Amino acid sequence: MKQLISLLLLACAMVTMPAQAQQTRYISDNLFTYMHNGPSTQYRIMGSVNAGTKVDLLETNSSTGFSKIRDNRGRTGWVNSDFVSTQVGLKVRFPALEKELTEVKSQLEEALESGDEKTASLQNSLKLRNEQISDLETQNGQLNEQLMTSQAEIRELRARLDTQKDDLLMRWFTYGGMVAGGGLLFGLILPHLIPRRRKRNNGWA
């Protein structure tokens, strides 16, 4: 009983999988393409599908380069995958393009009618922007000069600081050497300056 239920569920899944996998596609803008019984040109030709026709993509065979489709007449067959496109055909796009072209022409005519005023406004705006850019470039040049001067001063001050550090270290070493030398000299002279006590015969001072 369990095996029968499993087989029924598997059969239902196999039936529903193609319906879920189908995707909307369009035949590309050639004159037409042939529909075959199988996924290659070796199969019998069933008929043709006109360019721009909306079809349902059911399956794709990557090894042969053919796709299984269902056209608007309900026929199911295989066509070359190169002729299956995600883009709507010119038959559908052309009216929309004509409408868009008409709207653009109308906008262009309106723009030409008020073109003089807009042109003068744009010229004034452009002049103002050029002046602002020129001012900014001048300020930028001045800031660069100030930056270079400041950097040179910083380098000079650092060099002076390093020199002062070296001089200070030399002074400390010199003073330390003098103190050490003086201490050594004092230690050598001091015993000669202090008179020694004579010892008594009994050995006590």
User: Mind listing the pLDDT tens digit of every residue in the chain (205 residues)?
Assistant: 444 444 444 444 443 344 345 787 776 655 678 889 899 989 999 888 888 888 999 999 999 999 999 998 999 999 999 888 887 766 666 677 777 878 887 877 777 776 667 777 778 888 888 888 888 888 888 878 887 887 888 888 888 888 888 888 888 888 777 877 777 777 777 677 766 665 555 555 4
Pair of tokens at residue 113:
């009618």
Report DSSP state, residue 72. Answer: T
Q: Which of 40, 33, 37, 31 is nearest to 55 (CA)?
A: 33
CA 82/CA 104 separation, integer angstroms: 34
pLDDT at residue 70 in the model: 94
- As beta bridge partners, residue 61 has 66
> Does the predicted TM-score (pTM) go above 0.85?
no
